[in-house]
Amino acid sequence: MKKEKFFYATCATLVLALNVSAQDTLKNKQLDEVVVTATRSEKNINDVGRSITVITADDIKKSGANSISEILSQQEGMYVVGTGQNPGMTSSIFTRGANSNQTVILIDGIRITDPSAINNSIDVAELSLANIDKIEIVRGSHSTMYGSSAIGGVINIITKKTSKSGLSVDVSATGGTFGKNTSQISENLYLSYALKNGFYAGVEVLNENVKGLNATVDTITNPTVHKHNKMGDDFAKLDWVAKTGFKNKKWDVYASYKQTKQLANIDKAAYKDDDNYTVDFNRNLYTYGASYKINEKYNLNYIGGYSTMKRVAIDDSSTINTAGDFDKTYNKGVYEGKLMSNELQANYSIKGLSIVLGGGHFAEEMKVNTSYLYYNQWGFPPAYVNLKTSLDSVKPSSSTVSVFLHADIGGELISEKMKAFALSGGLRISNHNVFGANTTYEINPTLKVANGGLIYATYATGYNAPSLYQLYDATKYYTWDTQYNTGLTRGNKKLNPESSKTFEIGYKQKINKTTLSAAYFNTEVDHVIEYVYLWDKNIGIDTLGQNWGRDDSRGDTYINLGTMTTQGVELGINSVLSEKLIVSANISLVSGKIKYAPNDIDTSQTHGNQIQIFNNGAFVTNKNVETLGLSRRPSTANLSITYMPVKQLALRADVRHVGSRGDAYYEPTLGPYGALGTVAVEQYTLLDLSLRTNIFKGLTASLRVENVLDKKYHEINGYTTRGRGFYLTLRYSL
């Protein structure tokens, strides 16, 4: 812990020192970035009273990153689990300590989720770097603008629109290795053509093939014992995107289609390898929109999207020992989802006033069909056990209709003497077909100070709707001896949304080519949705599960229970110190806790039975419970230095530090069924080095060495991470 505090103190000192140095060095003025995600209207990033990061396509190319996870993990306030593991491993994002399903991910303003997932969160590994113009990140609660899940923040991936007339070409190939017997090869091709009258069309294809590591930690030291998966866990991905549109001074119309196909070898769980467990994923995404500029004051916008996804997981009876025996099981799960989103928005803008009024409809559907087969040593069939489950009978779906209003009021609207002051705020009213109406709001005052500074404060409420699985899973519980039906299902249609309150205060400073930011935030989430075991209310906790002549369990379900609090500090700097030297750095310190109280329990959801929380094994029927620290929510620090000794050559060093944190693991001693315990995961620091050179006009070559010191570390307890890696990229642009 002392080492961590020293590291963060050193980074903070470096950030402040760089800021002072830059103020003394720079005299040139930098072009200001215009963003749209924070206010749903074009606005200078330095005038927005929120913590914002903009990552351009050029930034992505210069970073040498192979995935969106790598890009996002370098930003303040973000930790992406899976970044350093095998390509294709499930990746979850934690923004400002919020849960993995409390960050909204958008593509051109259209929300992308996985309706078939237990908590509805998207696997970040699904996303690729294909067809990205820029990524806008807004940290903090933003449900007023984007509805459900926007508690931790919003990530908006904005795709390319051809601006220059004629043919544009960008083609690249990357090859590399990140450990013994591994390889990663990808090819990317982008073609677009634009007419002078404003019509354009483009297509992009990304293909990736990975020969991976064994994803689980190898704990078998006996050389005579059979080991699984000697060749590692592989991954294949194919993305292709087509987009066409028309843009002039009045109109901006577009339509696009994106298909994602990927096949990953995965494992059962931490430390549990599996040779024949695969996940085949496919998503089709259609997005479309139109914007019409009536005059300098009025603008109308429409955006829509439709998405289908299908995930097929198969575990086909893996070999378990040197004799070639099998575990005699075959598992197959087919998970499908659909999304539909449509929004209409009107913008009004004059000097000192900007108003956004809009409304929309968002709908989700899911299908789940699973089968489990157990067969004997003579083959298959006959099957001794053939269990099938399906949610087709309940047809899980949800629909949300909402209207929203947001206004930015500048002080100059009242008096020129007040032009340094501005106030923005908004309101969203949503109606969900299951839990009904929900209202969120925000207020955001800002004050410009001398020399390009901005002080801001934000108070915002947010919400996170229950997932379809949490609402509709029809699994029922029967006691083994009496077949007594408890009447409870795992899904709970009485669930309320999680609700949040966020306070943030921050400061931004821009001097020439240096930007400095600092923010403090505190977020409290009530009605947290928890997965719980139910136990017979008439039996004492100390004797549960000790009488083999009775069944004490009354099933399992999801309920609203507990209050989660996260708070933290973020510091960031980006500075062009000279024409040859660019430095950026950020620090994020985050802490959290969760409280449970018996008074928070809705007994109509539990039939008065005793409650055991699966996430920590605690019983909360008769006492308050508090857990300090949240799993997989570390403090982080990042440093990037780019040095260009000559115009044709750029050298770059990236340092990433992740603090110690807790991780969840299954502990069979926690209650009769077991539950999740917490194990400490050590801090780690990684160093990446890269160089990029222009061979001739349009052709560049990049060499990147990842994890230069070959650091052995863990992101998740029980899973391996990539070792020292070497990647070579050739890119041609026209």
Tokens, residue 86: 């095998």
Which of residues 531 and 451 earns the better pLDDT score?
Answer: 531
pLDDT digits over 506-545, tens only?
A: 999 998 889 999 999 999 999 999 999 999 888 888 888 8
pLDDT of residue 719: 86
pLDDT at 17 exceeding the cut of 50: no
Give residue for tokens 């002051």.
421
Q: Which region among 137-151, 255-269, 367-381 has the lowest average model confidence (pLDDT)? A: 367-381
Q: Which region among 131-140, 606-615, 697-706 has the lowest average model confidence (pLDDT)? A: 606-615
Residue 312's CB: how many other CB atoms inside 10 A?
15
- The mean per-residue pLDDT over the stretch 379-399 comes to 74
pLDDT at 376 exceeding the cut of 70: no
Q: Which region among 14-28, 134-148, 191-205, 279-293 has the lowest average model confidence (pLDDT)? A: 14-28
pLDDT of residue 357: 98
pLDDT digits over 591-615, tens only?
A: 999 999 988 888 888 888 899 999 9
pTM above 0.85, yes or no: yes
Where does the pLDDT of residue 732 fall: very low under 50, low under 70, confident under 90, or very high at 90 and above? very high
Q: In the chain, what is the straight-line distance between the N-terminal and C-terminal CA atoms, in Å? A: 51
pLDDT digits over 337-361, tens only?
A: 999 999 999 999 999 999 999 999 9
pLDDT of residue 656: 97
The rounded Cα 356 to chain-centroid distance in angstroms is 27
Tokens, residue 223: 């050389």
- The mean per-residue pLDDT over the stretch 618-641 comes to 91
- The mean per-residue pLDDT over the stretch 659-671 comes to 88
- The mean per-residue pLDDT over the stretch 23-48 comes to 70
Tokens, residue 510: 């821009």
The 3-state DSSP class for residue 57 equals helix
Q: In the chain, what are the domains?
A: 2-733 (2.40.170.20)
Tokens, residue 589: 């310190």
Q: How many CA atoms lie within 13 A of 593 on its CB side?
A: 6
Provide the total of helices (H) and of strands (E) in the chain, helices listed first. 6, 40
pLDDT of residue 21: 41
- The mean per-residue pLDDT over the stretch 124-144 comes to 93
Tokens, residue 249: 């001074």
pLDDT at 204 exceeding the cut of 80: yes
pLDDT at 171 exceeding the cut of 50: yes
Which of residues 372 and 410 earns the better pLDDT score?
Answer: 410
Highest mean pLDDT among 81-95, 475-489, 540-554: 81-95
Q: Which region among 91-105, 121-135, 375-389, 602-616 has the lowest average model confidence (pLDDT)? A: 375-389
CA distance 16 to 568: 18
CA distance 693 to 711: 27
Q: What is the DSSP-derived secondary structure letter of residue 251? A: E
Where does the pLDDT of residue 89 fall: very low under 50, low under 70, confident under 90, or very high at 90 and above? confident
Contact status, residue 435 vs residue 496, Cβ threshold 8 Å: yes
Q: What is the mean pLDDT of the chain?
A: 88
pLDDT at 407 exceeding the cut of 60: yes
pLDDT of residue 19: 45
CA distance 561 to 611: 10
Contact status, residue 713 vs residue 706, Cβ threshold 8 Å: no
pLDDT of residue 25: 36
pLDDT of residue 379: 53
The rounded Cα 613 to chain-centroid distance in angstroms is 25
Residue partners of 584: CB distance under 8 A and separation at least 6? 572, 573, 574, 575, 638, 639, 640
- The mean per-residue pLDDT over the stretch 84-95 comes to 90
pLDDT over 70 percentage in the chain: 88
pLDDT of residue 327: 66
- The mean per-residue pLDDT over the stretch 680-695 comes to 95
Tokens, residue 482: 């009496």
pLDDT at 167 exceeding the cut of 60: yes
The 3-state DSSP class for residue 45 equals helix
Contact status, residue 29 vs residue 46, Cβ threshold 8 Å: no
pLDDT at 39 exceeding the cut of 70: yes
pLDDT over 90 percentage in the chain: 67
